[in-house]
């Protein structure tokens, strides 16, 4: 490829908008006649900066033993129904090319992705993000915009291709009676205040409970298909096949890393809002003071 090669500007123009992408509505909203103005800015490449910021947030929270992990629990119709401990996921997820800790499903999922690629199609899936060693009280019940679950949902839904977010049992909770959903509360001298389950995913009333946060995100299939769907030319309104840009057949494993770091950003923000301080030493001092106060009320770290 010659760096001096002239590029025909007309060939770069994208007029045949892709179903499921931002192309059409973006052109209508901003009065564009070239969908490339939309597709470049709406690209998931933007998430690289969010991953970088999330990585910094993790380093801050590591000082307080707060850990994050993510893994793929479903791709297409292939679902991992097993429940795993946090540390098992942490120890095994990076050994998998598709970030699936169930070795028995890995080859099956890979084959499905390869099959889909040959057919010019794409696959979505479900990602689980967990957060461990949190303290109670991040977020607030007092105002809708201070609820930590609201912010987690917003930031995750703001990630390209994410179409659904649930915390704990999520949608399943709507099918059960209350006595099967709520996490009963107990106290003993050794463990302090505890719950016997974590159906609500570590958040009650818009606040962290101190239990693991468990979030699942549904990612739709990528809309760029190598076997394109019917669409229109944005300028002539004539029928065409959708334009084809370079894309993956399945981006769920990569998206799991994005979601994990997006969650880290939100948790860090709420942690700093609650604990506060102008230096790491201030943070540690304020954190220890809060832990002591919680201990006086029966909650043990």
- The predicted pLDDT at position 1 comes to 47
As a whole number of angstroms, the distance between CA 149 and CA 294 comes to: 22
DSSP structure string for 130-184? EEESPPTTSB-SSSGGG-HHHHHHHHHHTSTTEEEEEETTGGGGGGS-GGGTS--
Model pLDDT for residues 39-92, shown as the tens digit of each residue: 888 888 899 999 999 999 999 999 999 999 999 999 999 999 999 999 999 999
Instruction: Work out the percent of the chain whose per-residue pLDDT is above 70.
Output: 96
- The predicted pLDDT at position 146 comes to 97
Helix (H) / strand (E) element for 241: namely: strand 239-241
- pLDDT tier for residue 224 given thresholds of 50, 70 and 90: confident
- pLDDT tier for residue 5 given thresholds of 50, 70 and 90: low
Could you tell me whether strands 230-232 and 239-241 are parallel, antiparallel, or unpaired per DSSP bridges?
antiparallel
In the predicted model, what is the mean pLDDT of residues 152-167? 97
Reduced DSSP (H G I as helix, E B as strand, rest coil) percent helix, strand, coil of the chain, to 5:
40, 20, 40
As a whole number of angstroms, the distance between CA 259 and CA 163 comes to: 13
Q: Nearest 10 degrees: CA dihedral of 84, 169, 128, 160?
A: 170
Candidates 206, 199, 185; CA nearest to 138 is 206
Domain boundaries, the chain: 14-275
- The predicted pLDDT at position 118 comes to 93
C-alpha distances in angstroms, 186 versus 196, 202, 265?
8, 16, 31
Buried/exposed code over 164-194 (b: 16+ C-beta within 10 A; e: otherwise): ebbbbbbeebeeeeeeebebeeeeeeeebbb
- pLDDT tier for residue 7 given thresholds of 50, 70 and 90: low
Query: Mapping DSSP to helix (H, G, I), strand (E, B) and coil, where does residue 61 land?
Result: helix
**What's 31's DSSP letter?**
T
C-alpha distances in angstroms, 24 versus 32, 220, 222, 225?
9, 18, 16, 16
pTM over 0.85? The answer is yes
DSSP structure string for 84-135? --HHHHHHHGGGSTTS-S-HHHHHHHHHHHHHHHHTT--B-EEEEEEEESPP
What's the CA angle centered on 51, arms 111 and 113, to 5 degrees?
Answer: 10
Question: For residue 256, is pLDDT > 80?
Answer: yes
In the predicted model, what is the mean pLDDT of residues 237-248? 88
Could you tell me whether strands 78-79 and 67-75 are parallel, antiparallel, or unpaired per DSSP bridges?
antiparallel
CATH number of 14-275: 3.60.150.10
Contacts of residue 41, defined as CB under 8 A and 6 or more positions apart, other chains included, come to none
Model pLDDT for residues 174-214, shown as the tens digit of each residue: 999 999 999 999 999 999 999 999 999 999 999 999 999 99
**C-alpha atoms less than 13 angstroms from C-alpha of 190 in its C-beta half-sphere:** 0
Question: What's the mean per-residue pLDDT of the chain?
Answer: 94
Model pLDDT for residues 83-133, shown as the tens digit of each residue: 999 999 999 999 999 999 999 999 999 999 999 999 999 999 999 999 999
Question: For residue 258, is pLDDT > 90?
Answer: yes
């Amino acid at each position: 490829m010659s760096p001096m090669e002239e590029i025909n500007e007309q060939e770069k123009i994208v007029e045949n908008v892709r179903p499921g992408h931002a192309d059409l509505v973006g052109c209508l909203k901003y009065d564009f006649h070239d969908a490339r103005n939309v597709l470049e800015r709406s690209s998931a490449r933007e998430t690289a900066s969010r991953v970088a910021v999330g990585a910094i947030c993790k380093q801050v929270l590591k000082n307080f033993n707060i850990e994050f992990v993510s893994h793929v629990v479903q791709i297409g119709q292939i679902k991992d129904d097993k429940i795993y401990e946090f540390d098992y996921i942490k120890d095994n997820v990076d050994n998998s090319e598709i970030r699936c800790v169930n070795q028995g499903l890995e080859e099956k999922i890979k084959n499905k992705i390869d099959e889909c690629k040959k057919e010019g199609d794409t696959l979505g899936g479900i990602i689980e993000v967990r957060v461990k060693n949190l303290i109670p009280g991040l977020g607030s019940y007092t105002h809708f915009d201070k609820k930590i679950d609201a912010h987690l949902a917003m930031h995750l839904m703001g990630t390209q291709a994410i179409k659904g977010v649930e915390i704990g049992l999520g949608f399943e909770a709507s099918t059960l009676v209350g006595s099967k959903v709520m996490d009963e509360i107990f106290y003993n001298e050794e463990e302090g205040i505890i719950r016997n389950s974590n159906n609500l995913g570590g958040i009650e009333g818009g606040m962290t409970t101190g239990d693991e946060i468990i979030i699942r995100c549904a990612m739709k299939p990528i809309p760029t298909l190598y076997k394109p769907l019917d669409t229109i030319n944005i300028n002539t309104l004539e029928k065409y096949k959708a334009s084809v840009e370079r894309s993956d057949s399945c981006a769920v494993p990569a998206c799991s890393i994005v979601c994990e770091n997006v969650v880290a950003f939100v948790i860090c923000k709420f942690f700093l809002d609650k604990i506060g301080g102008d230096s790491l030493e201030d943070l540690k001092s304020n954190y220890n003071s809060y832990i002591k106060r919680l201990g006086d009320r029966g909650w043990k770290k």
